[in-house]
């Protein structure tokens, strides 16, 4: 593997041992640096000119991304965040104030990218993040079959991990999007019976069906196309014609105002009952 391809495989920045593991020798590294296609900001550190500065900082400081900062590497659901990066380092004092340090690893990290193993990423998230953020990451991994609830629960013993284990109690499968996971969980925590991805004749699959008759559709789009809006309205009309009641909520409702969303649904359910 040539140097540029190996660095791309590593995300754009890597140290010599990681590149050697991909078959890159010292002579190839020297040639790549002389040609200008690869930069060497520190001894043993090799970087593509297009490498993200955040990644370079992680590799330079010998950190591993974990928790929410590793969600993108594993394609896990997460809520947008502009906070500090979350990292593991064998010496906590080596991590500056610009990062959140997580202690302890159970499994070997990625051999080529500065990322902790998936299990460690999820355990750190369960201990660190708030309920919706950690729930999304764990449920995404469990739904894909990359992780099991039992594996995580066994590695979160004792009272100090009670908060983390409580999140696992709400993990389910079958949701089609992060909004479905969050809305379904908020409704269930309010004591509302919820089914996800239910098929209705002449309507198709609806996101959530509450109490057997209240359809809740979730829309994460910022700018809906008119044809899709018309399709959604026809689906709503058909579900109402069949005797269902239909409500629609958007990203801001689910993520930023879940209490108001749940309160509104409870009002509707109370009237029918």
Q: Is residue 56 part of a domain?
A: no
Residue ending a domain, choose from 143, 168, 193: 168
Whether residues 163 and 86 fall in one domain: yes
Whether residues 69 and 151 fall in one domain: yes
Q: Is residue 57 part of a domain?
A: no
CB 187 within 8 A of CB 265: yes
Quote the number of domains for the chain: 3
Q: What is the residue-level pLDDT of the chain in tens, covering all 273 positions?
A: 899 999 999 999 999 999 999 999 999 999 999 999 999 999 999 999 999 999 999 999 999 999 999 999 999 999 987 789 999 999 988 888 889 999 999 999 998 999 999 999 999 999 999 999 999 999 999 999 999 999 999 999 999 999 999 999 999 998 899 999 999 999 999 999 999 999 998 888 999 999 999 999 998 765 457 666 667 767 777 777 777 789 999 999 999 999 999 999 999 999 876
Q: What is the value of pTM for the model shown?
A: 0.89
Whether residues 194 and 260 fall in one domain: yes
Whether residues 78 and 102 fall in one domain: yes
CA distance 239 to 242: 5
Q: Is residue 88 part of a domain?
A: yes
Classified as helix, coil or strand, 247 is strand
CA distance 180 to 76: 15
Whether residues 164 and 183 fall in one domain: no
Whether residues 43 and 85 fall in one domain: no
Whether residues 186 and 218 fall in one domain: yes
Whether residues 68 and 164 fall in one domain: yes
Residue ending a domain, choose from 115, 138, 168: 168
Domain that holds residue 130: 64-168
């Amino acid at each position: 593997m040539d140097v540029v391809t190996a660095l791309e495989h590593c995300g754009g920045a890597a140290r010599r041992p990681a590149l050697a593991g991909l078959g890159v020798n010292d002579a190839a590294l020297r040639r790549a640096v002389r040609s200008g296609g690869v930069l060497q900001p520190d001894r043993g550190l090799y970087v593509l000119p297009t490498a993200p500065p955040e990644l370079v900082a992680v590799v330079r400081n010998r950190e591993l991304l974990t928790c929410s900062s590793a969600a993108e590497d594993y394609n896990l659901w997460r809520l947008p965040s502009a906070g500090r990066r979350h990292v593991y380092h064998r010496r906590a004092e080596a991590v500056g104030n610009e990062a959140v340090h997580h202690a302890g690893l159970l499994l070997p990290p990625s051999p080529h990218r500065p990322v902790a193993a998936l299990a460690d990423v999820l355990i750190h998230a369960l201990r660190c993040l708030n309920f919706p953020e950690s729930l999304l990451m764990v449920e995404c991994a469990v739904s894909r079959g990359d992780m099991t609830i039992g594996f995580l629960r066994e590695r979160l013993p004792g009272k100090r991990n009670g908060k983390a284990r409580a999140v696992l109690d709400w993990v389910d499968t079958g949701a089609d999007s992060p909004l479905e996971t969050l809305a379904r969980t908020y409704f269930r925590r309010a004591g509302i019976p919820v089914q996800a991805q239910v098929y209705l004749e002449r309507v198709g699959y609806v996101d959530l069906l509450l109490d057997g008759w209240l359809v809740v559709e979730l829309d994460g789009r910022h700018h809906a196309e008119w044809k899709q809006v018309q399709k959604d309205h026809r689906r709503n009309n058909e579900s109402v014609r069949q005797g269902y009641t239909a409500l629609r909520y958007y990203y801001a409702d689910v993520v930023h105002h879940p209490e108001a969303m749940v309160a509104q649904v409870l009002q509707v359910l109370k009237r029918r009952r």
